[in-house]
Chain A
Amino acid sequence: MRKILYLIAILATVLATISCKKEKKATKTPAIVGEWQITDIITKSAEFAGQTVNIYLSFAKDKSFEMYQMIGQGRYRKFSGSWKLSGKNLSGSYSSGKAWGSSYIVSVSEDLLTLTATEGGEADTYEKTVIPEEIKDESYE
């Protein structure tokens, strides 16, 4: 009888563990997944005087990303590739295989995403958005 109770206890523990794991997986969607628009750029030494930087980011669950950028003037240019999150460290590469210019320390607070570059410390803040279809349609690669 003690043996049976012991087995039941083990089974319950295993089930609980599996259940916990499942629960943990279910809540593991990284907070960066979604669509974001840049709102602020803080550099350590200067502002980007006179130039407008427009960036839209889309991080997908399947670890792919799309980025639409317009720096200064012109038409939005589309980039794509993959991302990887290790703890708070976000890295990635473009579809050409080239790595991002820097990796980032990620901070998500409500609808704000802050990416702080490990190279140079530039901190870019993004807010949650829906990327306009017009920008997607009219961008070029």
Chain B
Amino acid sequence: MVLGMAAVLSCSRIEEKEFVSDQGFASALAAKSVNTLKDAMPSSFLVKLEEQADIQELLGTKGISGIERVFQSTPGKEEIEKRHGLDRWYELFLEDGTQLEPVAEAVAGFSCVQTIEFNTVAKRPQSLGGAVSVNSIAASKASPTDFSQFNDPQFSNQWHYINIGDKAICSNVYAGGDISVKDVWSKVTCGDPSIIVAVVDEGVKYTHPDLAANMWKNEGEIPDNGIDDDGNGYIDDVYGYNFVDNGAISWSKNGDVGHGTHTAGTISAVNNNNLGVVGIAGGSGKNDGVKIMSCQIFSGNGGGEVAQVARAIKYAADNGASLISCSFGYAAGTFKSDGAYRSHAGAEYDAMLAFRDSKNNDAVDGGIIIFSSGNDATDYAGYPGALADVISVSALGPDFLPTHYTCYGPGCKIAAPGGEGGNTNYPVGLPTASGGWSVRAAVLSTYPSELDQNGGDYAYMQGTSMACPHVTGVAALGISYALKLGKHYSVDEFNSMIVSSAKDIDNRINSKSTKQIVFNSGAVYQTMQLHKYYHKMGTGCIDAWSLMMKIEGTPCSVIAIGDTHWVDLSPYFGTSSTSLTYIGFEMDDASREALGIEEEPQLKYGRLYIKATKIGSGKVTINAVGGGSIIGSDTTIGGMPISREISIITRGFASSTGGWL
């Protein structure tokens, strides 16, 4: 024990003789670096020190011009920072003209250095083909009665919220192929302004007329005075922060595509303001929408570095965000297991763990992390979304079928509308009745007018980037409603409820199912075979109503004593419950005794088979995989572990309808 402590505390240059002789310092770098020089920024790299080590020892290293903590320490957050090692991450800056690898090799030689991470920039936003101005599209002919809930004039073009089967969207549109949010707005909740959603993305145009009222505002900061008024370590961070340029949030630099403003609008564009579009948790027009915090990690053609992403996520945690919406990621296939990703993106993952542990509302005791699954059309998701403890979102079109670009399979936890409309930059999409691809089959949201071809504030975009904020918005509604009811959940419980609140899409897919995609303005069609997506779009399409009902509480299942009966699991795991992979159940002795369980219950055919001999009530916890057949691990890519507790009442009789009589 004493020897171990001594080893941890010392921070000195390791002599070359300590290594296998023919490998030298290079082997130290190989042993300590979690990634490679591929896509690495040449001017800096990150190190994580051993516990209680002192960074001062690295100061004299040749080629290093400066050292900064990757994460600023936030008062009151020290315990979480320490728990996840955020206090031990440093960014080392190189002198001009210095080669990265030799300096990294030298630093790796210090025993106090636990990990070296190159500042890679492989991540990218996950939308396809840019945006199409709403001003260039013919107005919707949808019945206004279907969209009378809010007076926002473009609401009727947002099929992704209420899909009435309008064939002007595309010829194979599917009525009901949406997120079932209409009744939530009218009967349950439209949001809560105390809930903050961090959009980790390009900068959000916080002056947008349909977003401004729902932007989070750091009241302790005076805008544009060049001073860190609230002492949180960031100057002029009023609506969030630009972690790329270390300054004001931007959205219209050369290279920006309006991505952050678009995803923000899906979550919380201001509702019922007689303007533009509707946001899922954008309120009812009474200043009751959830708030958007802009954590900018892309700027123009730059950004996406590990350090920037990590800082942005910690900022969200420290400044009150309950959810982060992350429509970006590494290309699918870059990593093939949770372990491979974790060991590559150490600082980023540590920041995610800290966010997960940061309780910023009274309903959920930590942060909810939602990523897009990727647009690579591969049969596995891209990381970080593919991590087992992260919700990743695949994309559906208005035909309520998988889109041609979406990732599917292991690592994909749930699906949502991402759109499938073509445009001149990307002439691929669902067909219209009159031929050609449909622009309106994409997702409509807010957009920076500075980037719009017609100077408009709204545009269509598509991608898993657009699917991701649909789940974020629904989750934000869920937290809003849980707050209203005074409910409280752990992060795992809330994640389980989100992932199990899904509508089945597999019932539309069989071995011969196909769909047609139009290429090049209708000149070429491609037939997509759909059977490969069967059971691979996570648990199905996010269902906002289902999540709200789970938050209200799922009623008991009633069964009769005597014979073996099966319990329908769809109220607990969604309408695709019969096709989920279940990994077991737990039933305590008290419940077994109360129900008179003499034969072991069984999970089969997606149901719980149980034989009770006594009248009473008991509980069973059922464990399943949210997306896929195995849970992701150090060595595999897979789904998320989800658990739901079922309450059972036994009587002398029971109706198969679930009715009491």
Q: Chain A residues in contact with chain B, CB under 8 A?
A: 43-51, 53, 55, 57, 67, 69-75, 77, 79, 92, 94, 96, 98-102, 104, 117, 119-122, 138, 140
Q: Are B652 and A100 in contact (CB-based, < 8 A)?
A: no
Q: Which residue of A45, A57, A94, A96 contacts B615 across the interface (Cβ within 8 Å)? A: A45
Docked Cα-Cα span, A74 to B614, in Å, equals 25
Knowing A71-B555, A71-B558, A74-B554 are in contact, say whether A48-B660 is a contact too (CB < 8 A): no
Complex interface residues of chain B between 42 and 65 (CB less than 8 A to chain A): none
Q: Which residue of A45, A72, A119 contacts B555 across the interface (Cβ within 8 Å)? A: A72
Q: Are A67 and B659 in contact (CB-based, < 8 A)?
A: yes
Per-residue A-contact encoding for B588-630, CB less than 8 Å = 1, 0 else: 0000001000000000000000000011110000000000000
| Residue tally, chain B, CB below 8 Å to A | 28
Q: Are A73 and B552 in contact (CB-based, < 8 A)?
A: yes
Docked Cα-Cα span, A70 to B659, in Å, equals 10
Docked Cα-Cα span, A120 to B649, in Å, equals 15
Q: Which residue of A43, A79, A119 contacts B657 across the interface (Cβ within 8 Å)? A: A79
Residues of chain B with a CB closer than 8 A to A138's CB: 187
Q: Which residue of B lies closest to A78 (CB)?
A: B659
Per-residue A-contact encoding for B640-661, CB less than 8 Å = 1, 0 else: 0000000101011111111111
- Smallest CB separation, B185 vs chain A (Å): 14
Indicate whether B390 reaches chain A with its CB closer than 8 angstroms: no
Residues of chain B with a CB closer than 8 A to A45's CB: 614-615
Q: Are A49 and B616 in contact (CB-based, < 8 A)?
A: yes
Docked Cα-Cα span, A34 to B527, in Å, equals 59
Nearest 6 Cβ contacts at the A-B interface: A120-B652, A73-B553, A72-B556, A101-B655, A119-B653, A101-B653
Docked Cα-Cα span, A67 to B652, in Å, equals 20
Knowing A49-B594, A74-B555 are in contact, say whether A92-B655 is a contact too (CB < 8 A): no
Q: Are A117 and B653 in contact (CB-based, < 8 A)?
A: yes
Knowing A43-B651, A100-B655 are in contact, say whether A77-B555 is a contact too (CB < 8 A): yes
Knowing A48-B616, A67-B660, A71-B556 are in contact, say whether A121-B649 is a contact too (CB < 8 A): no
Q: Are B659 and A44 in contact (CB-based, < 8 A)?
A: no
Residues of chain B with a CB closer than 8 A to A51's CB: 556, 617, 647, 649
Q: Are B652 and A121 in contact (CB-based, < 8 A)?
A: yes
Q: B560, B617, B649, B660: which has the most chain A beta carbons within 10 Å?
A: B660
Q: B614, B649, B653: which has the most chain A beta carbons within 10 Å?
A: B653
Q: Are A98 and B653 in contact (CB-based, < 8 A)?
A: no
Knowing A51-B647, A79-B659 are in contact, say whether A73-B555 is a contact too (CB < 8 A): yes
Q: Are A75 and B552 in contact (CB-based, < 8 A)?
A: yes
Q: Are B653 and A102 in contact (CB-based, < 8 A)?
A: yes
- Smallest CB separation, B655 vs chain A (Å): 4
Q: Are A72 and B654 in contact (CB-based, < 8 A)?
A: no
Knowing A100-B661, A120-B652 are in contact, say whether A48-B617 is a contact too (CB < 8 A): yes
Q: Are A55 and B653 in contact (CB-based, < 8 A)?
A: no
29 contacts between A and B (CB under 8 A): A45-B615, A46-B594, A46-B616, A48-B615, A49-B594, A49-B616, A49-B617, A50-B617, A72-B647, A73-B554, A73-B555, A74-B552, A75-B549, A75-B552, A79-B657, A79-B661, A94-B659, A98-B655, A99-B655, A100-B659, A101-B651, A101-B653, A101-B656, A102-B652, A102-B653, A102-B661, A119-B560, A120-B651, A122-B653
Residues of chain A with a CB closer than 8 A to B614's CB: 45-46
Q: Which residue of B187, B553, B615, B649 contacts A74 across the interface (Cβ within 8 Å)? A: B553
Q: A53, A57, A101: which has the most chain B beta carbons within 10 Å?
A: A101
Q: In the complex, given contacts A50-B617, A98-B657, what are 17 additional A-B residue pairs having Cβ atoms less than 8 angstroms apart?
A: A48-B617, A48-B649, A49-B594, A49-B617, A69-B659, A70-B555, A71-B660, A72-B554, A72-B555, A73-B554, A74-B554, A79-B659, A101-B651, A102-B653, A120-B615, A120-B651, A120-B653
Q: Are B651 and A122 in contact (CB-based, < 8 A)?
A: yes
Q: Which residue of B615, B649, B653, B658 contacts A44 across the interface (Cβ within 8 Å)? A: B615
Docked Cα-Cα span, A94 to B549, in Å, equals 23
Complex interface residues of chain B between 528 and 571 (CB less than 8 A to chain A): 549, 552-556, 558, 560-561
Residues of chain B with a CB closer than 8 A to A92's CB: 661
Docked Cα-Cα span, A42 to B653, in Å, equals 14
- Smallest CB separation, A79 vs chain B (Å): 4
Docked Cα-Cα span, A140 to B647, in Å, equals 20
Residues of chain A with a CB closer than 8 A to B558's CB: 71
- Smallest CB separation, B219 vs chain A (Å): 37
Docked Cα-Cα span, A90 to B656, in Å, equals 19
Residues of chain A with a CB closer than 8 A to B656's CB: 98, 101
- Smallest CB separation, B658 vs chain A (Å): 7
Docked Cα-Cα span, A99 to B656, in Å, equals 9
Docked Cα-Cα span, A127 to B651, in Å, equals 21
Residues of chain B with a CB closer than 8 A to A99's CB: 655
Complex interface residues of chain B between 178 and 213 (CB less than 8 A to chain A): 187
Docked Cα-Cα span, A47 to B594, in Å, equals 10
Residues of chain B with a CB closer than 8 A to A75's CB: 549, 552
Residues of chain B with a CB closer than 8 A to A104's CB: 661
- Smallest CB separation, A81 vs chain B (Å): 8
Q: Which residue of A43, A69, A96, A98 contacts B660 across the interface (Cβ within 8 Å)? A: A69
Docked Cα-Cα span, A98 to B661, in Å, equals 11
- Smallest CB separation, B182 vs chain A (Å): 13
- Smallest CB separation, B647 vs chain A (Å): 5
- Smallest CB separation, B592 vs chain A (Å): 14
Docked Cα-Cα span, A75 to B187, in Å, equals 12
Docked Cα-Cα span, A133 to B571, in Å, equals 25
- Smallest CB separation, A116 vs chain B (Å): 11
Q: Are A53 and B615 in contact (CB-based, < 8 A)?
A: no
- Smallest CB separation, A21 vs chain B (Å): 32
Residues of chain B with a CB closer than 8 A to A120's CB: 561, 615, 651-653
Docked Cα-Cα span, A58 to B549, in Å, equals 25
Residues of chain A with a CB closer than 8 A to B660's CB: 53, 55, 67, 69, 71
Q: Which residue of A lies closest to B654 (CB)?
A: A101
Q: Which residue of B lies closest to A140 (CB)?
A: B549
Residues of chain A with a CB closer than 8 A to B657's CB: 79, 94, 96, 98
Docked Cα-Cα span, A120 to B614, in Å, equals 12
Residues of chain B with a CB closer than 8 A to A49's CB: 594, 616-617
- Smallest CB separation, B561 vs chain A (Å): 8
Knowing A69-B659, A70-B555, A74-B552 are in contact, say whether A46-B615 is a contact too (CB < 8 A): yes
Residues of chain B with a CB closer than 8 A to A53's CB: 649, 660
Q: Which residue of B lies closest to A100 (CB)?
A: B661
- Smallest CB separation, A123 vs chain B (Å): 11
Q: Are A43 and B555 in contact (CB-based, < 8 A)?
A: no
Q: Which residue of A lies closest to B659 (CB)?
A: A79
Q: Are B655 and A94 in contact (CB-based, < 8 A)?
A: yes
Docked Cα-Cα span, A43 to B653, in Å, equals 11
Residues of chain A with a CB closer than 8 A to B187's CB: 138
Residues of chain B with a CB closer than 8 A to A96's CB: 657
Q: Are A72 and B553 in contact (CB-based, < 8 A)?
A: yes
Q: Which residue of A lies closest to B545 (CB)?
A: A140
Q: Which residue of B lies closest to A115 (CB)?
A: B661
Complex interface residues of chain B between 282 and 329 (CB less than 8 A to chain A): none
- Smallest CB separation, A55 vs chain B (Å): 5
Residues of chain A with a CB closer than 8 A to B651's CB: 43, 101, 120, 122
Residues of chain B with a CB closer than 8 A to A57's CB: 661
Residues of chain B with a CB closer than 8 A to A121's CB: 652
Docked Cα-Cα span, A98 to B372, in Å, equals 44
